[in-house]
């Protein structure tokens, strides 16, 4: 199943959540939500953005553009949310003050600045709620008046 956007100038973002704890302090976070990373898909294919301790890995994957990366990640045991359309970039004071973490990198890729989202679990719940609202709106607006 293709996950590509309609136009070549658009991209979609998927966010994946992992329970792996590479650093000792990550074990304090909720199991299953110790790290998050993102994938962007456009007409040319997939780019993964993985904010690790000390560096950010940005890699274009050598897979077909219609490869179903979110499903591959799900089969590997990750929780995956998306697709999201990134919001236009805006400068915000809070963005300048926030530390660079996996959560803030994912938020910036989405073009969001959620003040009270600090952990991967909080990000997951915020994004899942957004997807549920969008899906519910689609269901509510797609019904015919006679139904």
**pLDDT tens digits, one per residue of 20-38:** 666 665 656 567 678 899 9
Contact at 8 Å (CB) between 84 and 97? Answer: no
- Measured in degrees and rounded to the nearest 5, phi and psi for residue 102 equal -60, -35
Decide if 144 is inside a domain: no
- Rounded to an integer, the average pLDDT of 110-132 is 89
Decide if 2 is inside a domain: no
Decide if 20 is inside a domain: yes
Decide if 89 is inside a domain: yes
Distance between CA atoms of residues 118 and 128, nearest Å: 16
Decide if 67 is inside a domain: yes
Distance between CA atoms of residues 16 and 38, nearest Å: 6
Decide if 4 is inside a domain: no
Contact at 8 Å (CB) between 79 and 19? Answer: no
User: Measured on CA atoms in the order 56, 61, 65, 70, is the torsion positive or negative?
Assistant: negative
pLDDT of the residue at 59 = 96
Contact at 8 Å (CB) between 113 and 26? Answer: no
Q: What range defines the domain where residue 64 resides?
A: 12-139
| Domains held by the chain: number | 1
pLDDT of the residue at 145 = 44
Alpha helices in the chain (DSSP H): 69-75, 93-97, 102-110, 120-142
- Top pLDDT among 111 and 28 is at 111
Mean pLDDT of the chain: 81
Cis peptide bond prior to 13, omega within 30° of 0 = no
């Amino acid at each position: 199943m293709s996950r590509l956007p309609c136009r070549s100038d658009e991209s979609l973002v998927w966010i994946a959540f992992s329970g792996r704890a590479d650093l000792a302090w990550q074990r304090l976070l909720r199991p299953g939500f110790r790290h998050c990373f993102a994938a962007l898909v456009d007409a040319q294919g997939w780019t993964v953005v993985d904010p690790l301790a000390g560096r950010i890995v940005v890699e274009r994957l050598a897979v077909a553009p219609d490869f179903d990366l979110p499903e591959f990640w799900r089969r590997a045991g990750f929780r995956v949310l998306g697709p999201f359309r990134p919001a236009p970039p805006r400068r915000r004071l809070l963005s300048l003050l926030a530390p660079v973490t996996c959560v803030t990198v994912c938020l910036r890729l989405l073009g969001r600045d959620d003040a009270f989202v600090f952990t991967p679990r909080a990000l997951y719940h915020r994004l899942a709620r957004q997807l549920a609202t969008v899906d519910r709106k689609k269901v509510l607006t797609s019904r015919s008046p006679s139904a």
